[in-house]
Structure 1
């Protein structure tokens, strides 16, 4: 390590070249990976893994789904979650003093408690239905329904507002934000499943099933969904096709994967050439030192080991500094953009291993050449 300690400025510049190469490799792989993850999350929010199933609306006589359809669909292997809503055909009013026709167009739906996770719905005010509300006449309003009923929010800590549904009072416990995946929910009043049966005489048969499945298997689930919901008459079941966002997501993943490989390859080549050039020049400039050591009795193996060790040490130090620099730069940029930071482990491990390998390869030829020099040749060439 004598060369590194006595020539600190040159060693620092040599390590700097390596650091830039490794930092570049990490940045050009981590930033696109972070951008890809942010894009994938946005596309997933568009329902890339969701299907809906419902009975054909214009059949004579009408066909409805069975009460056990939710549990039956949940048994399909790739399905991860199932929820449902059902039209109770009830009439909602702001109070018992208001003309019912004032709120035409709003639908009262019985809803399962896990509905928000299926349609990516968010509660704007209050909370959604849960087990604690299953035994009580409670309701959650869609965004349009809340506006029509004159209830912009649920006051925290205060008395909850009430609405009038089929001559029954229901307490409003929450209001949803707009739900792009299911616009029908925006114009709906959602009531808990069990109170809908006891208070509104709902028969327990779902109207619409919402199904989430593993994305790679979403087409396979769609192929068997109608047969699972109604084995006797699968043709009367309408199943939505996978979201167009799924195709966009898969295309984006393919594009980004190719981009990662290309950028990483370029960064590694540039870093490797820089390391090799720096180490070759460093070794060739130290022929006087080689001659002196050989004249003092150092064997050729000592010379080879010395320069190989210094080459690997310089590369390793530069690689560590470059890794730290690349990670910090990625975190700063992704934080600024509001993306989830992604540091590919392959880039970090590959960069660290690459610096050692490049250092050894870069120092191999010069060290062998230096070891073959006789003391007189080494001193005479200076």
Structure 2
């Protein structure tokens, strides 16, 4: 009798009836597969979203660039510049600002820059030493600090501005009107001394008194012209939103002992116009952005609804193979998110390029707010998720037999 080998009974393997979970990577591939299966529809749908977001980004960017150009023009009008000058004492005499008034004003937090000039009343400018003393031509001699040009927004028509070296010696910069009166001269005569002309200012809209002046260094005025060091005009630039607050503390800061002897200019009327323009631009940008996002969301919803109608067979097959309603719902939401993300990113890029091209053609600064770039993509994704939710729920509700029979 042959030997018979008895095999042990096969081990029983437990079969789980629970559906497999979709990992994020699986969900991403599944959503991408749905888009790749219909590339033309996906491209056209993403393009529709991109055009809407590009329109929003371009409108916001062009409006912001236009606003930046307006801000630049209004800044040239001195919307944030205040001037401080000595007033009168209680006895009606001309007051004086302390020597350290500029340094104290610079310590005010919102003040961005401060500088000063001082009229040297006893000095006069002549074309040559042969001109009679009484024929001054109305040209004033002004001692100027080195940072004057930056604060008052002035520029040079020719030559150079005073520096740490020339401000100590007989060197002078002529205002635009002064240069026109004296002509093209290499030097002028002041207080029995020849002063070398090192530069000529272009017209200064924010400080027109400089146009008819001859400007010398602070130290040179003290050395050669008997200047006592007291400023007669202080120019201060402040943070635009804090101009009124700065104005309120300028007088007691410039002259703490006698603040009533200080005159402070009021803010420019252009400041109110600037703020009104900013408020109008903000409301316009919010309205246009909301409309563009709404259009993009409708496009996503339309695309996903059509996708559900066309893919009933796929939905029924997946349900028959064990996919849950939640998995089907998540799949369509993922496709909607991917579609929105692609369209939003492409739209933001396209809108930025359009803004740059248009702003360059108008000689504007290219300004696209960060909130428009990030908000365009982020809001599109959120809108896409909301818009894709109804089609996803509709797809999940399809019974397997109904979906397969309809296919």
**Both structures adopt the same fold (TM-score exceeding 0.5):** yes
Q: How does 1:69-88 map to 2 (within 5 A)?
A: 69-88=101-120
Contact 2:167-2:216 at 8 Å conserved across structures: no
* Match of residue 143 from structure 2: 110
Which contiguous aligned blocks of 4+ residues in structure 1 show a shift greater than 6 angstroms?
none
**Structure 1 residue 33 corresponds to structure 2 residue 64:** yes
Report the more deviating stretch, 141-150 or 21-30.
Answer: 21-30
Report the more deviating stretch, 312-321 or 141-150.
Answer: 312-321
Question: Which among 327, 335, 340 is matched to residue 352 of structure 2?
Answer: 327
1:101, distance to aligned residue in structure 2 (A): 5.2
1:338, distance to aligned residue in structure 2 (A): 1.5
> How far apart, in 2, do the equivalents of 1:335 and 1:341 lie?
7
1:302, distance to aligned residue in structure 2 (A): 4.5
Question: Which among 230, 248, 272 is matched to residue 247 of structure 1?
Answer: 272
Q: How does 1:225-244 map to 2 (within 5 A)?
A: 225-244=250-269
* CA displacement, residues 285-325 of structure 1 (integer Å, 9 cap, x when unaligned): 22233234445665545433432332222221111111111
Q: List runs of 5+ in structure 1 lacking aligned partners.
A: 153-160
Report the more deviating stretch, 275-284 or 1-10.
Answer: 1-10
Contact 1:23-1:323 at 8 Å conserved across structures: yes
* Match of residue 391 from structure 2: 366
> How far apart, in 1, do the equivalents of 2:376 and 2:92 lie?
67
* Match of residue 10 from structure 2: none
Aligned length: 374
**Structure 1 residue 131 corresponds to structure 2 residue 164:** yes
**Structure 1 residue 283 corresponds to structure 2 residue 314:** no
Report the more deviating stretch, 327-336 or 306-315.
Answer: 306-315
Q: Tell me the TM-score normalised to structure 1 length.
A: 0.90
> How far apart, in 2, do the equivalents of 1:332 and 1:136 lie?
50
| Equivalent position SS for 2:165 | helix
Distance 1:166 1:305, change over 3 A: same
Q: How does 1:237-316 map to 2 (within 5 A)?
A: 237-295=262-320, 298-316=323-341
Question: Which among 184, 198, 205 is matched to residue 209 of structure 2?
Answer: 184
Of structures 1 and 2, the larger Rg is shown by: 2
* Match of residue 93 from structure 1: 126
* CA displacement, residues 327-380 of structure 1 (integer Å, 9 cap, x when unaligned): 111111111122212212222222222232233223332233223323331233
> How far apart, in 2, do the equivalents of 1:114 and 1:166 lie?
26
Q: List runs of 5+ in structure 2 lacking aligned partners.
A: 1-31
* Match of residue 122 from structure 1: 155
Distance 1:231 1:3, change over 3 A: closer
> How far apart, in 1, do the equivalents of 2:130 and 2:331 lie?
95
